Structure 1
Amino acid sequence: MKDNKTKDLSENPGSPDKLSVSAKGGSASGGEQLKDQYLKALEKVSSLSRGDARKILLKELEQELENEKARRLAEAEEQIRAAAEDRARDILVSAMERAATSYVAEFTVSVVELPSEEWKGKIIGKEGRNVRAFERATGVEVDLEESPKSVRISSFDPVRRHIARLALERLIKEDRFQPENIESVVTQVKGEIDQEIRREGEQLALAAGLGGLPGGIIELLGRFKFRTSYGQNLAKHSLEMVKLASALAAEVGADVELTKAAALFHDIGKVATAESGEPHDILTRKILERFGFPEKLVNAAASHHDREEKKSVEAELVYIADAISGSRPGARYEDIEGYVKRISDLENIAKSFPGVADAYAISAGRELRVIVKAEEMSDEESSRLAQDIGKRVRSEVVTPGGVKIVVIRETRFEEQT
């Protein structure tokens, strides 16, 4: 017998693809010889050089590695995204739990209970003089028809409505509902409200954990109690914003104090919107710049409506907190904001004319009462003023139906003895 074994790599001995590789067992060099013979056989079959075969093999391996890497990256990205969503959800839920506040939507009517039905006659007065004097002094609308023992006070402006309610309650308590007393009581109540506004501002700043604020900012914050946005009380909304935004800032490692201040100030322009007519976020920027707050805080407070670019993580957090606070079921009523803007526009148009002392829109904006300075305008000029205001209203304000323009010119004769 022969000492070597022969292995055919082709089933057809006569074909050109027939390869024979002999391996002699027992020596270490036999393995190397076998490897060398295999490579030579492969070169012969494929007509490729050893270098070319290696390149093809490496290319195929590289492609397999790239595919495997892409697959694993996709899996890792999906795992990271899912984990990030879970973490973000946990952060938001935690922040919302810490910021949970009770909330009741506010509207534009206050009700004052009367001691008896006879008080309605006292409030109306002879030929309606008392109720007209009260409406003129307070800028509200008084409705005596709703209930036998109550009076409804209507106004889009919560400060006016609050003043009117307190003044009416005091006049009833003191039993002196006459025109000469009405003005003095209303003036007295207005002074008290100014002090209340400052106290409310200090309490809101304290509740938000912010101290050392300028007096002008404190006064503006105090007006939050009497301002609503989409039916949502501004003080409650802003305090909820502070809790939400600061909780989020603590979770993500942002500047908590700056975020807290920006959240509290973000709607500060709304208390001045009625006077200027500019968008409240623009007014927020102007107010904060006037009081010298740093730009990073100003941008974080003023960019929550995307009118300007958000330039920091803190600005993004204020935006998120505002969206959360305003999107809760029952938190806001969209039509109230439109109503308030329409009423403000009507009054601002009237006040823009020279000689006008004050103007009040009542009856849900269906009537505009304009009080002129008697010493500056004659009866004929007052008549022309009503026509001019009517033209401006028709061209600038979209109203559901017409608006009745009532110009009031009152001449008084007083003598001190």
Structure 2
Amino acid sequence: MSFEQTLGIAMGAVIGACLAVLIYRRRVIRLQESERLKCDVELREAKLKLREEHNEMELELQRKQTENERMLASRENELTVRARDLDRKAEHLKEAENLIEQKNKEVSREQRLLDDAEHEAEKVRRLYRLKLHQITHMDENDARQLLLRSTEKECAQEIADLRRSKLGRSEAEVNGEATRILLAAMQRITSQPMNDATATVVSLPSDEMKGRIIGREGRNIRTFEHATGTTLMIDETPDSVMISCFDPVRREIARISLEALLKDGRIHPASIEEQVAKAEEEMRANVIHLGESALRKLRLHDVHPEIVVLLGKLHYRLSNNQNTLAHSVEVANLCALIASEIGLDPAIAKRAGLFHDIGKAVDEDYEGSHAIVGADIIKQHGEDSRVVNAAAAHHNEVPAESPYAGLVMVADSLSAVRPGARASSIDGFIQRVRSIEEIAAAEHGVSEAYAIQAGREVRVIVEPDVIGDEEARQLARTISRRIENELNYPGSIEITVIREQRYKEMAV
């Protein structure tokens, strides 16, 4: 092999080695670049994951804060209830002290009466001795006159009982006729039982919508609550939110607005205000339609537009789950039927029955009971004075000035206690009546207790030898307080304590 060949081979080897080194370096650089790019991608993914975890932690923190606020409000309510219970117990102790003091006074008074009775008995004994002495010196006519006078005194009670029985028979005939009229009116009217729900729950397509409803930093939910005047309760209940508000009309506007927002998909402050404005217009039209429908059903006219709006709002207000507008229409029909039976004007009676609860539809700007407020409103819009008085007096807050007030009271009670009118199961009704009777019968000195008028009145019969007049009055107050503290019931319950003494003699 020549020198040139060897040199060429050596130079080729060197050049190949250099090329191999260059290729290796390029591969290393390429690997380093790919590793750097991979690290950058992993870094960006880690940052995104960290940001998502941060957002989830913020949402969880807001949820826990809301839950803590709710628990704090619940604790405050419990403390308030306990404070009321302590005040009530203090009042009961004070009443017990007063009762003991009254007992002591009664014992002292009874002792004085006993002393007076002994003194009177001594006088009577002396008087009888004197009369016996006089009788021994009487002739026949004087003895007959004395016998007649004594017989008249002895029969005075029997004469009074006979008079009472005659009057009672007449009163029973009147009550029977009144019962016949009421039954005739009730048989001529038919109504469907009310099953309206009181809670307003809106379903969501998914739980992700809860975050969109809340919005960034809570802007959406604050805008919604401010625009509708309601409170959105978002908790762990899946795929639903609850709308809470005392005003049922505002609650319905909030429901319509929220459903429209969910359907549209755009949830931000501007769209929220737009949907709330549309819902308010829709609600106003619906309220007017409901009020006019009630008037057409009753064939009434010449009603002010503001009264029509208030009538429509009654549709969204419930009383013990009984729709107030349907209740008012039913009372109006009952009033008209009874009025036609007893010779009164059915049109006036119908208007009085329809407008008697109109005060329940007004907002908090008015002060006073719904009966007084409703009477003032219909008076301002030119209603008949008899209709105004019937609306104001149907809860005995003002004196009744016409028979129409009594008609409204009767019809209102009939509509309220009609089976199926209010959300009360037969088992719950039976249990409530039984509890009322048990509370009354558990008191000392009570012989019998009966709950009547669908549980709206309880009549308590006491033993007259054990319970005196003052004790009977105190017993009625005690039973009233126990029923208020231990039972839940619609309306009011009247407690009547009956203390009766009967004297019998046997003539042989």
Question: Under a length normalisation based on structure 1, what TM-score does the superposition of the two structures give?
Answer: 0.59
Per the alignment, residue 22 of structure 1 pairs with none
CA 1:162/1:82 → structure 2, altered by over 3 Å: closer, same or farther? same
Per the alignment, residue 86 of structure 1 pairs with 176
Q: Tell me how far apart the structure 1 counterparts of residues 243 and 216 of structure 2 sit (CA, whole Å).
A: 20
Per the alignment, residue 259 of structure 2 pairs with 169
Q: Tell me how far apart the structure 1 counterparts of residues 387 and 236 of structure 2 sit (CA, whole Å).
A: 48
Q: Tell me how far apart the structure 2 counterparts of residues 47 and 149 of structure 1 sit (CA, whole Å).
A: 105
Q: Tell me how far apart the structure 2 counterparts of residues 146 and 259 of structure 1 sit (CA, whole Å).
A: 51
Per the alignment, residue 102 of structure 1 pairs with 192
Alpha-carbon contact 1:273-1:280 (below 8 Å) kept? no
Determine which of 278, 287, 300 is the counterpart of 1:197. Answer: 287
Per the alignment, residue 326 of structure 1 pairs with 416
CA 1:78/1:121 → structure 2, altered by over 3 Å: closer, same or farther? same
Report deviation, 1:253. 1.6
Report deviation, 1:268. 1.4
Instruction: Summarize the alignment of residues 9-20 of structure 1 with structure 2, pairs less than 5 Å apart.
Output: none
Report deviation, 1:157. 0.9
Per the alignment, residue 295 of structure 1 pairs with 385
Instruction: Summarize the alignment of residues 93-172 of structure 1 with structure 2, pairs less than 5 Å apart.
Output: 93-104=183-194, 108-145=198-235, 147-172=237-262
Report deviation, 1:262. 0.5
* 1:366-398 Cα shifts (integer Å, max 9, x gaps): xxxxxxxxxxxxxxxxxxxxxxxxxxxxxxxxx
Alpha-carbon contact 1:146-1:152 (below 8 Å) kept? no
Identity of matched residues, %: 38
Determine which of 299, 317, 320 is the counterpart of 1:209. Answer: 299
Alpha-carbon contact 1:110-1:154 (below 8 Å) kept? yes
* 1:302-323 Cα shifts (integer Å, max 9, x gaps): 1112121111111111111122
Per the alignment, residue 334 of structure 2 pairs with 244
Per the alignment, residue 352 of structure 2 pairs with 262
Report deviation, 1:205. 1.2
Determine which of 251, 275, 288 is the counterpart of 1:185. Answer: 275
Alpha-carbon contact 2:372-2:391 (below 8 Å) kept? no
Q: Secondary structure at the match of 1:148?
A: coil
Q: Tell me how far apart the structure 2 counterparts of residues 139 and 288 of structure 1 sit (CA, whole Å).
A: 27
* 1:46-75 Cα shifts (integer Å, max 9, x gaps): 998xxxx9x9xxx9xx9xxx9999888666
CA 1:273/1:326 → structure 2, altered by over 3 Å: closer, same or farther? farther
Alpha-carbon contact 1:108-1:156 (below 8 Å) kept? no
Q: Tell me how far apart the structure 1 counterparts of residues 406 and 298 of structure 2 sit (CA, whole Å).
A: 19
The residue identity in structure 2 corresponding to 1:118 is E
Determine which of 215, 234, 240 is the counterpart of 2:324. Answer: 234
Higher strand share: 1
Alpha-carbon contact 1:108-1:158 (below 8 Å) kept? no
Q: Tell me how far apart the structure 2 counterparts of residues 142 and 68 of structure 1 sit (CA, whole Å).
A: 72
The residue identity in structure 2 corresponding to 1:287 is I
Report deviation, 1:98. 3.2
Alpha-carbon contact 2:223-2:269 (below 8 Å) kept? yes
* 1:204-234 Cα shifts (integer Å, max 9, x gaps): 1112221221222212212111223454322
* 1:66-98 Cα shifts (integer Å, max 9, x gaps): 999988866654443333333322322332333
Alpha-carbon contact 1:108-1:157 (below 8 Å) kept? no
Q: Which has the higher contact order (CA 8 A, sep 6+)?
A: 1
The residue identity in structure 2 corresponding to 1:331 is R
Per the alignment, residue 373 of structure 1 pairs with none
Q: Tell me how far apart the structure 1 counterparts of residues 234 and 358 of structure 2 sit (CA, whole Å).
A: 35
CA 1:160/1:91 → structure 2, altered by over 3 Å: closer, same or farther? same
Q: Tell me how far apart the structure 2 counterparts of residues 177 and 114 of structure 1 sit (CA, whole Å).
A: 13
Q: Tell me how far apart the structure 2 counterparts of residues 160 and 273 of structure 1 sit (CA, whole Å).
A: 11
CA 1:219/1:266 → structure 2, altered by over 3 Å: closer, same or farther? same
Alpha-carbon contact 1:273-1:279 (below 8 Å) kept? no
Alpha-carbon contact 2:315-2:323 (below 8 Å) kept? yes
Q: Secondary structure at the match of 2:390?
A: helix
Q: Secondary structure at the match of 1:102?
A: coil
CA 1:279/1:199 → structure 2, altered by over 3 Å: closer, same or farther? same
The residue identity in structure 2 corresponding to 1:195 is A
Q: Tell me how far apart the structure 1 counterparts of residues 297 and 401 of structure 2 sit (CA, whole Å).
A: 27
Higher helix share: 2
Q: Tell me how far apart the structure 2 counterparts of residues 87 and 139 of structure 1 sit (CA, whole Å).
A: 52
In structure 2, list runs of 5 or more residues that go unmatched. 1-138, 425-508
The residue identity in structure 2 corresponding to 1:194 is R
The residue identity in structure 2 corresponding to 1:263 is G
The residue identity in structure 2 corresponding to 1:173 is K
Q: Tell me how far apart the structure 2 counterparts of residues 192 and 166 of structure 1 sit (CA, whole Å).
A: 9
Structure 1 residue 311 and structure 2 residue 401: aligned? yes
In structure 1, list runs of 5 or more residues that go unmatched. 1-45, 334-417
Alpha-carbon contact 2:225-2:231 (below 8 Å) kept? yes
Q: Secondary structure at the match of 1:226?
A: coil
The residue identity in structure 2 corresponding to 1:256 is P
Q: Tell me the matched-pair count.
A: 285
The residue identity in structure 2 corresponding to 1:119 is M
CA 1:69/1:172 → structure 2, altered by over 3 Å: closer, same or farther? same
Report deviation, 1:285. 2.3
The residue identity in structure 2 corresponding to 1:150 is S
CA 1:199/1:146 → structure 2, altered by over 3 Å: closer, same or farther? farther
CA 1:98/1:147 → structure 2, altered by over 3 Å: closer, same or farther? farther
Q: Secondary structure at the match of 1:145?
A: coil
The residue identity in structure 2 corresponding to 1:247 is L
* 1:152-186 Cα shifts (integer Å, max 9, x gaps): 11111111110011111111111111221111110
